[in-house]
Structure 1
Amino acid sequence: MKLLKLYSNNPSFHDIQFNPTGLSIIMGETSQSGENASLKGNCNGVGKTTALRLVNFCLAANSNEGLKKIPKEWSFFLEFELNGQNHRIERSVGNNTLALDDKAIKLARLQKFFDGNGPFLIDKNVSGLSFRSLITRFMRHRREDISDEIYPVSSDQKPSDATIRSLYLLGAAYLLAERKKLNAVKLNNIRNQIKQYKEIKKNSRNNELGIDADLASHKQRLERLKAQLENMNIFEAFDDIRREIKDKEEKIETLFQKISINNYQLASINKALDYTPDMTADELKGLYEGLKKLFKESALEHFDKVEVFHKQMAENRTHRLECDKQQIQAENERLNNEYLHLKESAKRLEAQLKNRHSENEYQALLQEKNMHELEIERLGVVQKEIAALEQQQAKIRSIIANDNFEATKYVASSPLDCQSGLFQRLMLQFGEDIPAGISITANGGNNQIQFDLKVSAQSGKSTGITHEMTLAYDWLLLTHGSNHDLGFVWHDNALFADIDAGHRAKWMEFIYQNSIDTGKQYIMSINSENFEKSSPYWSEDILQKLQERVIMKLSGEKDTDKLLGIYFDDK
């Protein structure tokens, strides 16, 4: 697959005709004056990255990221060669129009077209492999696509996806990596299912018991309930008699309280009778003699009458207490008789209920029995499901353990030595002999990753070593990768800006010739200032050849000199 031409339905757009093989340079020229003085000396915002985003958009991207400020009625056309046939995609920014070879097509169908007919030999057994997930590795259009790890890009949702896709393009054991990811997902799902079943178990009465102990407890209680129900003697009048007994017990309690009060009153009366507050005649006379000293004798001449009065009062008190005592004793006798009668009656009724049960008691026990049966059935299902899940869990863990062993043996065979050597030679093209390579190790951890992949180079003089590794790694995948027949890679200015000028010059000189030799397209966007800083390192012949490979010059001098031919803020 190669890119041929990018153009628009709007005449202000600057069409881009790609070189069929070799290097194609899109140059962003430095503004010398510009309508906005703040842009002087600046070649950003002229459309270099926008061109890359437009190609990505036309190649069935899910969104128009970075293009939303372009008028929605604008449509873009991308002509490309695929499997010896020329095709054209038309797509409007507002997504109102999408066509392949002038025939309307849905986005999902277009993506399937590329999956089935595109440059990648998609393995349908691997869910994460698709044209869209792989093409972004050859046209890094986001800042996040450039990272220290080199091989992942922002479209990789998980680290395991990045590893599998990279192993696929490197021709390494991607199926082994895919299997661990799938088995790890299965294990996680099983753990969640077991957890859910154990949450169901918590709803039982004995939630602190294990399932086995809880089941045994319910079964024991069920057997006791069955025995009780079998031996129950149902008495229809049971509840009526029980209510009658309760009524008598309430009356007995009332009588008991009355008798207790009466006994207390009798005790008080007996105590009062034992106490004699009366004064004897001699005591009264002594008191009288003493009073003579205080009062006249005439005032105390009726002593005999006083003595008689005092004696009558004492006799009246005793009589009254004896009468009260007799009345209370008589009432107590009546109450005691009634009390004993009620006690005897209640006892006879209790005898009728002995070894008999009410219908309500029977139904209550029956309901409890049914509850235990249902709980035993429910816990039995939970127990069986957990056991089945744990068996699956053990099998998957066994498979993962075997795969981990296979991964260890695979790594020991040095499967990426060839690719690592090629990467080392590509890194030499930047002009500095530094240790570099691609390493793979087995990951036996409890995760979705079977292999740890690392693209590395010892940092030399260049501050842009990460970018150099990215350039070399992408070119390695394009020219010596597996499972694809892709014919182009696109590197944006962001990858060149921080690279040492001399290193950049050597890479561009190398890529000029190597892209011709391999028949691949190397599309690069670069600012003129970065190009010019590297030019002293080139011979006149190389400089001329590189200049001849410039297919588009964009400038910020005027809006019409930009890619779209209008002012466009892609921030």
Structure 2
Amino acid sequence: MLRRISSNFDSFRPVSFGPGFNVILAEMAPGASEKHSRNARGKTTLIQAINYCLGGTLAKSMAPLAAAGWSFSLELDLFGSTLTATRNLKGGNKLRLDYPGELSGVLHAYVDENSAVTVEDWKFLLGLGLFSLDRVGESGDRGISPRTLLSYVIRTEAVKDPLKIIPQQPAWSSREHVAYLLNLNWELVRDLSRLEEDSDTYKAIARATKKSLLPRALRPEPELMLELVEAQRTLAELTSRVQGFQVVEDPDGLISRADRVTEELKELRNDALVDRRMIELYAESIENEQGSEDAGVGEVVAELYGEMQRAFNPEALQSFEKVEAFHHQVMGNRRRFLSAELERLRGQQAERDEKIRALTVSRNSILAVLDAGGALEELSALQNERAQAAAHVTEVETALNNVRDLAEAQEGVRVQKAQLRQETARDLSANRQKLDAVAARFDRMMQELYGVSGVLTAEVDDLGFKFTIRVSTSASGGVTRMQLLCFDLTLMAEGTGENHHPGFLIHDSVVFDGVDPRQVAAGLSLVRETAESVGAQYICTMNSNDVPASVSDADWFIEGTRRIVLDTEEGGILGTSF
């Protein structure tokens, strides 16, 4: 229970609260006309100050108070005793706790030598003391938050959906916290929401993969398989080339040797050509001489000699026999010379041909080595190409494994979701009787206020428990606000005895805006009766003109009025303007 709110400024008059019904009422000052407003007198500021002392963030409207050095102190029941938490509006990273000795054992691990506690530790203590929440919330954990739970019992907004604290609240958050307040297994909602997020991620990846919107590493499995086969074939070919590669240690030297052999072969072939021409000439000469003898060369010589005798003195000429003998001697010497030269040239040609054959074999061997081998730079380039091909194979294999792992993970998520849905259904079935009682209480409240049925249902879907509120009447503003009132009262009534609710509920005046006076009267009476029946505390702020006379004149309403706020600077909740 909340007992008292005070400040370090005397202009703020402390407000004390009691069990059951409590109201902060805004009135017009005496002499004020209807043009004066009951709003902006600090009713909401009071609730914001309470919320701030309970670990909430500082409202923007209270920033001027922070600059002026304001602080607020809230006295409340916690862990079976009463303590006071004081928090400065400026800074506000720590709170000072004033507590009795019996709480030392609980608080000593969290407070320092100055009895100060960090905001985060204070939130944990509030979760433990007010909601029996014994876990520390983690960032991004999708766990239960003490502050979110408190937002279900301190309403400063009249949201259309009572299951949420603000319209933008994620579905998993509202489901988790409502499940906790109803004492259901909220962890099932957390786990299913995580799996749903994973499933949505995998589905998005799969859609993007099919549409080729992702990097090449994430492509359909058939496409990756085809690329892997081609990459492996290329790697095998390059590996074979590297393994069969013959490195020539001195390719430039071999080329020079080949050039020298080629030049020598050229000279030998030129010499061979000359010798073949000489052999042909010598052979032809020998053949011609043999032909001349066969044709009667002696007769020709004799005839020539006869002609010479007529022209010369007989003594000057020798006998024909001597001339013929000389001729035969000369011709014989020539034949012998030609035959010897012919034999020499043929022998020289044979030796040259053998040398040409040997040099040709040597040159072909050098060229074969040059053709089969290569330089170290070429081998290095080939090895680099093979390494790149191997890296490509590894890359495609990794991508293929990732795609398969993704498909396996997606299937795993589907199986886990099915299992958790079954577990959630079992938990819902086990708690069906209790939930039916909750729904019956909510229905009775709506019947009492509007005479219409209202249902609060729970079912199971992919996010776990799905809660729904339905009322069989038009969704007017007044009905929507009374749905919120009945839902919050139901949670308070059902959760107070199970330690899943702090036992107090705070509503700002917006909860009653636009509500028909008859329903306001019925709602306030319902609030008082419910709070008293379960031993809880209800605090609200209202404008006096929104309270029907049948209620404002009632003793319980008058006794529950904790402060009257006037539409003047001094009469406001803070006693000053800001």
Q: TM-score, normalised by structure 2?
A: 0.69
CA–CA separation in structure 1 for the residues paired with 2:214 and 2:414: 25
Q: 5 Å matches for 1:489-504?
A: 489-504=505-520
State the 1:148 CA deviation: 2.2
- Aligned residue number for residue 327 of structure 2: none
Task: Say if 2:11 is the partner of 1:12.
Answer: yes
Return 5+ residue gaps in structure 1 as ranges. Answer: 246-346
- Aligned residue number for residue 183 of structure 1: 195
Task: Say if 2:147 is the partner of 1:148.
Answer: no
Q: Secondary structure at the match of 1:149?
A: coil
CA contact (8 A) 1:232 1:362 kept: yes
- Calculate percent identity across the aligned residue pairs: 20
- Identify which of 103, 128, 146 aligns with 2:143: 128
- Identify which of 48, 69, 76 aligns with 2:72: 76
CA–CA separation in structure 1 for the residues paired with 2:556 and 2:476: 26
Which whole-Å deviations, capped at 9, do the CAs of 1:252-303 have from their partners, x for residues lacking one?
xxxxxxxxxxxxxxxxxxxxxxxxxxxxxxxxxxxxxxxxxxxxxxxxxxxx
Which whole-Å deviations, capped at 9, do the CAs of 1:413-466 have from their partners, x for residues lacking one?
756322111100111231x2112010123224xxxx223211221225964001
Q: 5 Å matches for 1:2-151?
A: 2-19=1-18, 21-31=19-29, 33=31, 40-72=35-67, 73-96=69-92, 98-101=95-98, 103-122=115-134, 127-141=142-156, 143=157, 146-151=158-163
- Identify which of 340, 345, 361 aligns with 2:378: 361
* More off after superposition, 100-109 vs 186-195: 186-195
CA contact (8 A) 2:133 2:146 kept: no
- Aligned residue number for residue 427 of structure 1: 446
Q: Evaluate the alpha carbon distance shift between residue 234 and residue 83 of structure 1 in structure 2; reply closer, same or farther with a 3 A threshold.
A: closer
State the 1:112 CA deviation: 2.1
- Identify which of 371, 376, 379 aligns with 2:393: 376
State the 1:397 CA deviation: 1.1
CA–CA separation in structure 2 for the residues paired with 1:87 and 1:119: 17
CA–CA separation in structure 2 for the residues paired with 1:242 and 1:552: 112
- Aligned residue number for residue 575 of structure 2: 565
Code of the aligned partner of 1:442: V
State the 1:390 CA deviation: 3.2
- Identify which of 448, 454, 465 aligns with 1:436: 454
Structure showing greater Rg: 2
- Aligned residue number for residue 519 of structure 1: 535
State the 1:555 CA deviation: 0.7
- Aligned residue number for residue 329 of structure 1: none
- Aligned residue number for residue 229 of structure 1: 242
State the 1:529 CA deviation: 0.6
Q: 5 Å matches for 1:56-455?
A: 56-72=51-67, 73-96=69-92, 98-101=95-98, 103-122=115-134, 127-141=142-156, 143=157, 146-154=158-166, 157-187=169-199, 202=216, 210-236=223-249, 238=251, 353-407=370-424, 414=432, 416-430=435-449, 432-444=450-462, 449-455=463-469
State the 1:551 CA deviation: 0.7
CA contact (8 A) 1:168 1:483 kept: no
Q: Evaluate the alpha carbon distance shift between residue 538 and residue 17 of structure 1 in structure 2; reply closer, same or farther with a 3 A threshold.
A: closer
Q: Secondary structure at the match of 1:69?
A: helix
CA–CA separation in structure 2 for the residues paired with 1:26 and 1:181: 40
What count of residue pairs does the alignment treat as equivalent? 447
Which whole-Å deviations, capped at 9, do the CAs of 1:334-369 have from their partners, x for residues lacking one?
xxxxxxxxxxxxx98977743333333322211111
Code of the aligned partner of 1:140: R
Q: Secondary structure at the match of 2:61?
A: coil
Which whole-Å deviations, capped at 9, do the CAs of 1:489-530 have from their partners, x for residues lacking one?
011110012111001111212322332232211111000110
Which whole-Å deviations, capped at 9, do the CAs of 1:64-100 have from their partners, x for residues lacking one?
4431122430111100111320110111111256212
Code of the aligned partner of 1:119: F
Q: Secondary structure at the match of 1:80?
A: strand
* More off after superposition, 132-141 vs 411-420: 411-420
Q: Secondary structure at the match of 1:553?
A: strand
Code of the aligned partner of 2:43: K
* More off after superposition, 68-77 vs 147-156: 147-156
- Aligned residue number for residue 480 of structure 2: 466
CA contact (8 A) 1:121 1:483 kept: no
State the 1:471 CA deviation: 0.5
CA–CA separation in structure 2 for the residues paired with 1:460 and 1:384: 56
- Aligned residue number for residue 272 of structure 2: none
Task: Say if 2:566 is the partner of 1:555.
Answer: yes
Q: Secondary structure at the match of 2:570?
A: helix
Q: Secondary structure at the match of 1:28?
A: strand
Q: Secondary structure at the match of 2:542?
A: strand
State the 1:469 CA deviation: 0.6
Q: TM-score, normalised by structure 1?
A: 0.70
Q: Secondary structure at the match of 1:129?
A: coil
* More off after superposition, 493-502 vs 175-184: 175-184
CA–CA separation in structure 2 for the residues paired with 1:113 and 1:411: 29
- Aligned residue number for residue 471 of structure 2: 457
Return 5+ residue gaps in structure 2 as ranges. Answer: 99-113, 259-362
CA contact (8 A) 2:455 2:470 kept: yes
State the 1:173 CA deviation: 4.1
CA–CA separation in structure 2 for the residues paired with 1:242 and 1:188: 68
CA contact (8 A) 2:23 2:540 kept: yes
Taking only aligned residues, the RMSD between alpha carbons, in angstroms, comes to: 3.5
CA contact (8 A) 2:199 2:410 kept: yes
